[in-house]
Structure 1
Amino acid sequence: MIRLLWTASAEVRYFLRRYMPSNDLLDLIRTRKGLKWGVPAMLLAGPYLAAAFWCTTLIESGGPGWLHLVVLLCIWNALKMLAIGTFSVVLLTKARVHEYRAQRQERSASAWIHRR
Structure 2
Amino acid sequence: MLRLLCALSVRTRYFLRRYMPTNILLELIRTRRGLKGGIPAMLLAAPYLLAANYCITVIDGGGSGWLNLLVLLFCWNALKFIAIGPVSLALLAGARLREQRERRALRGSGIGSAAGFL
TM-score normalised to structure 1 length? 0.82
* Matched residue count: 113
One-letter amino acid matched to 1:64: S
Q: Does 1:58 align with 2:58?
A: yes
Instruction: State the one-letter code of the partner of 2:101.
Output: R
The code of the aligned residue for 1:22 comes to T
Query: Partners of 2:102 and 2:40 in 1: how far apart?
Result: 28
1:62-115, Cα deviation, whole Å (9 max, x unpaired): 11111101100000001111111111100000000110111122122226x75x
Identity of aligned residues (%): 58
Instruction: Answer with 15-24 or 44-53: which moved more.
Output: 15-24
- Which residue does the alignment assign to 1:99? 99
Q: Check 1:15–1:109 CA distance in 2 against 1; reply closer, same or farther (3 A cut).
A: closer
Aligned to 2:17: 17
| CA RMSD in angstroms, aligned pairs only | 2.2
1:34 corresponding residue in structure 2? 34
Amino acid at match of 1:93: A
Aligned to 2:86: 86
Find the aligned partners of 1:105 and 1:78 in 2 and give their Cα distance: 41
How far apart, CA to CA, are the structure 1 residues paired with 2:10 and 2:107? 49
Unaligned 5+ runs, structure 1: none
Q: Select between 45-54 and 10-19 the one with higher mean Cα deviation.
A: 10-19
Secondary structure of the equivalent of 1:43?
Answer: helix
